[in-house]
Amino acid sequence: MKHIPLRMCIACRQMYPQCELIRIVRDNETDEVKLDMNKKLFGRGAYICKNAECIQKAEKKRGIERHFKCAVPKELYKAAEELI
């Protein structure tokens, strides 16, 4: 049986299979935060559920900013909501 990696959503703090979550990456060199559609980009990553409630909760509580310790543009949250 194949191992399925679990990751924690930064908004609801629940564990889910990695394929069910949206990956967000911070590039260490440019400090740019962006969505990782293919889950292959290099850099520190964070995961968030593919539902509007978790994305809004992360935006309200500044979860991505706290995780990466840097500013995150509002467009990132809008782009994540469009992926749903």
Tell me the pLDDT tens digit for each residue of 38-82. 888 898 899 999 999 999 999 999 999 999 998 899 999 999 999
Domain count, the chain: 1
CATH number of 79's domain: 3.30.1230.10
Q: Is residue 57 part of a domain?
A: yes
Could you give the C-alpha distances from 71 to 26, 31, 60, 75, in angstroms and in order? 11, 9, 14, 12
Q: Is residue 74 part of a domain?
A: yes
Q: Is residue 15 part of a domain?
A: yes
Q: Is residue 1 part of a domain?
A: no
Please state the pTM of the whole predicted model.
0.88
Domain housing 40: 6-83
Q: Is residue 14 part of a domain?
A: yes
Per-residue pLDDT tens for 4-38?
999 999 999 999 999 999 999 998 888 889 999 88
